[in-house]
Amino acid sequence: MQVATSSLIQDLPVSQSYINGAWVDTQGTACVDVINPSDESVLTSVRMGSQQDVDNAVAAARAAFESWSETTAEQRLALLDRLLAQFDMMAESFARLISAEMGAPLTYARNAQVPLAKAHIQTARDNLQRYPFTQLRGTTAIVKEPIGVAALITPWNWPLYQITAKVAPALAAGCTVVLKPSELSPLSALAFAQAIHEAGFPAGVFNLVNGDGAVVGTALSEHSDVDMISITGSTRAGILVAQAAAKTVKRVAQELGGKSPNLLLPDADFNTAVPAGIAAGMRNCGQSCSAPTRMLVPRERLEEVEALAVAAVNGFILDVADNENATHGPLANKAQFDRVQTMIQKGLDEGARCIVGGTGKPDHLPTGYFARPTVFSDVTTNMAIAQEEIFGPVICLIPYDSLDEAVLIANDTVYGLGAHVQSQDLTLARKVARKIRSGQVHINYPAWDPQAPFGGYKQSGTGREYGVEGLEEYLETKAIVGYAQPE
């Protein structure tokens, strides 16, 4: 029998932090309401952490680091296996909490948000099993050691997925962690902390403090006993974290904004590529930093692409998140809804041609943070909608006249997180992919690969997550010279 979402929320320790292996009362006094974006009702209220909560969590992580960093890979593997088992037992609970707190349709939460989050744990576990922590280079040993206490700041759009993408490799590497999830979607994070506890991780290895960026985020960034901070969020937030962290010269890993191009080469199968591109750009209601929201198309094929794009959008089912038939739900919060409405209006004011969607809410959904899936055509690169991250279900069709121009348009952004290339000529697609300045390029909509390192060029961030590179973000390199004596 499935437990009601309301009962799941009632059982969460919303006034507590998880510190040193136990739930303790949060010292902060401020509270933030968690809003259901489908109907704008208050789900619960979560107490925000203070500087003292951060100090307590970091102290616990620091005290646990020495023993945890000296555990064997086999010991850490066993605990990650127990976490995976716990994850399976809690999968439905995770899906319901995510759907309630940030509006992902329940079916999408079950089929994407939760299993992809689990995949990060599995990937970290698999990479740990075969990672060479010590290698000889002549007579010098190159040793990889855990960096220390890692502070992890995660966003609201993929709340559990981004947590596991950081926590799993950090723990696998031998680091201890302090997690600050988004105050806008903290419920699945609390449930994840319960999973960590049930899996039996030693006290102090994993700690969680809820809070906002101004207080808890800044306190973690500045803390002298934090060795590394990893943030996924906006470029603005990443800059603030880096500035605060600079005072203690700690490592900073940033996965930030994006404005990813989807380049359709003239020989692409447009009947397949266009609907798939619209779906990719609007997955999770467009609330993905790597969403391909700029579709670059040959000018002579623009009318054909427009018809295919409109048909794709008209096939969506937009409804409340607990409707299991819905393909798309609301935006995650009011601030994001307002942002999307502002950007759609800006596109209209700039002269882009709206071929489907537009401002306002759908007629059948007057309550909730629902935005109309929108496609603009005749977009030029100087328009704000072609340059600024909208983070909503808005796609720009940008025509090009030559392949060289298309590559220039693809790179004409301060971001460089993701990109797509569509072509039936794999040799040409590979050539174009190499010319695009971004951390990932996808050719012909491949399956998601959790081993593919993910991160950005330019203002999309520094460092990499996922795969072996994601594990190595949490490692220091030590050279022990003379480790092996010459014969």
Q: What is the DSSP letter of 129?
A: H
Which residues are identified as catalytic?
A: 255, 289
What is the SS3 string spanning 152-213? EECCCCCHHHHHHHHHHHHHHHCCEEEEECCCCCCHHHHHHHHHHHHHCCCCCCEEECCCCH
- How far is Cα of residue 98 from the mean position of the Cα atoms in its chain? 14
- Six token digits for residue 201: 């991780």
Query: SS3 of 188, please?
Result: helix
Cα(149)–Cα(61) distance, integer angstroms: 6
Specify whether the CB–CB gap between 344 and 306 falls below 8 A.
Answer: no
**Phi then psi for 180, rounded to 5 degrees?**
-120, 100
Query: SS3 of 391, please?
Result: coil
Q: What is the DSSP letter of 110?
A: I
**H or E element in which residue 10 lies:** helix 5-10
Cα(277)–Cα(445) distance, integer angstroms: 8
**H or E element in which residue 314 lies:** helix 302-314
- Six token digits for residue 437: 């300045």
**H or E element in which residue 386 lies:** helix 384-387
Q: Is the dihedral of CA 55, 57, 60, 61 positive or negative?
A: negative
**H or E element in which residue 298 lies:** strand 294-298
Q: Angle 159-173/91-102 helices, nearest 10 degrees?
A: 130
CB count within 10 Å of CB 133 equals 14
Query: SS3 of 195, please?
Result: helix
- CA-only gyration radius of the chain, Å: 23
